[in-house]
Amino acid sequence: MPTDAVPTRADVLRLADIGFDAPAALLARHGLALVRVPDGVPIPGSYWGECEAGVIGPTVYARADTPVHSLLHEACHLIVLPPERRAAVHTDASDSIEEEDATCYLQIVLADALPGVGRLRVMADMDAWGYSFRLGSARAWFERDAEDARAFLAARGLLPAPA
């Protein structure tokens, strides 16, 4: 796909495209485990079902057909929670708009840690999948309207140091 093309829901980047090793290592750096679910088997803890990632406690579940943005989103829900709240999570990890915004922001930032992914691809995939933002796109929100999310993450030491 050309780099300036907007992906459709059908051609968003999936774990089958990048493998499980780099995402598993990224999650492990945040105290999370990634469990690969066999193809065709329902994903435990998936809020949306189908191919969407799931969460139960500090574990993220995904299949090869799980979109990378979904894996990052669900993992980031757990990352923004204090460790004592993670253990109680089953399927639905967020209880506030503030946490949801921080989750979206962090998933974009962490996309840069995955080879072959990066924030621009994840933001395009978020738009293709149907995430909605006041400014019309994930990128516009991230670049011009995410001060609260950045402040939430910074206050908790969850933003990577600037390069």
pTM for the model stands at 0.92
pLDDT value, residue 162: 64
Domain membership flag for residue 2: no
* Helix then strand then coil, % of the chain, to nearest 5: 45, 10, 45
State how far the Cα of 20 lies from the Cα of 34, in Å rounded to an integer.
8
Spatial contact of 54 and 126, defined as CB atoms under 8 Å apart:
no
Q: If DSSP codes are grouped into helix, strand and coil, which group holds residue 80?
A: helix
Domain membership flag for residue 134: yes
Structure confidence by residue, pLDDT tens digits, 51-82:
999 999 999 999 999 999 999 999 999 999 98
Domain membership flag for residue 4: no
The whole domain housing 78 covers 14-155
What is the Cα 82 distance to its own chain's centre? 17
pLDDT value, residue 7: 64
Domain membership flag for residue 8: no
State how far the Cα of 122 lies from the Cα of 128, in Å rounded to an integer.
10
Domain membership flag for residue 67: yes
Domain count of the fold of the chain: 1
Domain membership flag for residue 5: no
Per-residue pLDDT tens digits of the chain, which is 163 residues long = 444 555 667 789 999 999 999 999 999 999 999 999 999 999 999 998 899 999 999 999 999 999 999 999 999 999 999 888 999 999 988 778 999 999 999 999 999 999 999 999 999 999 999 888 888 999 999 999 999 999 999 999 998 666 5
